[in-house]
Amino acid sequence: MNSGLIYPRKHDKETVYLKNVVKDPAITIGDYTIYNDYVNNPVNFEKNNVLYHYPVNNEHLVIGRYCSIACGAKFIFTSANHTQRSLSSYPFGIFFDEWDLPVERITDTWDNKGDIVIGNDVWIGYEAVIMQGVHIGDGAVIGTRAVVTKDVEPYSIVGGVPAKTIRPRFDQPVIDALLTLRWWDWPEEKVKRNVEAITSGNVRKLLEENK
């Protein structure tokens, strides 16, 4: 297991195991999930990529195991989302002293849509944007510069602004098998034994291994 290891490849300082660089307790990252950044230091993912994520909203970012996150992907939380209940988009509540408002009213400034939850084995493409409250299913692929405003089904490929489903990654029987197998929850030794089957698309071998 990659306990404590930050850089999974020798001489590559652009790719990190996210679990080992994120400190915020409101961000949970699964084992082996990687982030690549050739523009900024990937160690600063929490600062540069998780935006408008303030403790007052009690929101969480949850990312599963074996995910691949490309350079510049962003996760946008509630405080970026000015409320639509108000007659004005101006955030009066943030400036409560100026407008003689109770400090408790600060969260009225935005519409809280909840946590962002990313499943396992999800690939998030270059500069994709995941908006607040979105849940992305296991095995999904998020296209380059997609803006994801709605939940994404497992093993679907989405792209565009706003993101729409392009196609499923596999036929439904294969998807069902993978969601049942949940190979990402296997011990490291078992995954290692089956890397060839996983990377070659041999679902039958995985099913046999899991009997």
Look-up of token digits 């400036």: 95
The answer, yes or no, to whether the previous bond of 173 is cis (omega within 30 of 0) is no
Give Cα 204 distance to the centre of its chain: 29
Joined together, the tokens standing for residue 199 give 């990377």
Query: Measured between alpha carbons, how far is residue 59 from residues 133, 153, 176 in Å?
Result: 9, 22, 31
Look-up of token digits 């409320």: 83
Query: Measured between alpha carbons, how far is residue 33 from residues 52, 59, 66, 120, 161 in Å?
Result: 22, 21, 4, 9, 25
**Active-site residue, 82 included:** yes
φ, ψ dihedrals at 116, nearest 5°? -100, 125
Q: Do 124 and 69 touch, CB atoms closer than 8 A?
A: yes
The answer for residues whose C-beta is within 8 angstroms of residue 184's C-beta and 6 or more apart is 30, 64, 65, 66, 120, 121, 138, 191
Marked catalytic residue, from 11, 53, 60, 82:
82
Catalytic site residues?
Answer: 82
